[in-house]
Amino acid sequence: LGVQDKFLYNSITPWDKDIKGQVARLRDLGIRHVVVQAFDDQDQTPAGRLKSLEAILAQGADAFDTIIVDTSVMNLPSTSFSILANRLIKEKLGLPCGGAYSNGTHMWKESKEMWGLDGFKAMDAVAQGMSTAIWSDFNFYGPIVTAQRIFPAVATAHILMSTFMYDETGKIPDNDNLPIRKFFPDFIVKLLEGGARKKGTSKK
What pLDDT score was predicted for residue 196?
55
What is the assigned CATH class of domain 4-146? Answer: alpha beta
Assess whether the previous peptide bond of 11 is cis (omega < 30° from 0): yes
Tell me the pLDDT band of 138, cut-offs 50, 70 and 90: very high
Taking residues 102-115, report their average pLDDT.
Answer: 97
What pLDDT score was predicted for residue 197?
61
What pLDDT score was predicted for residue 194?
83
pLDDT at residue 50 greater than cutoff 80:
yes
Dihedral sign (CA 18, 23, 28, 29): positive
Nearest CA among 97, 168, 177, 167 for reference residue 134: 97
Beta strand extents in the chain (DSSP E only):
8-12, 33-37, 66-70, 97-99, 138-139
| Torsion of the alpha carbons at 190, 196, 202 and 204, rounded to the nearest 10 | -120
What pLDDT score was predicted for residue 204?
44
Helix%, strand%, coil% for the chain, nearest 5:
60, 10, 30
Instruction: Report pTM.
Output: 0.89
How far is 204 from 199, CA to CA, in rounded Å?
9
Domains of the chain, by residue range, sit at 4-146
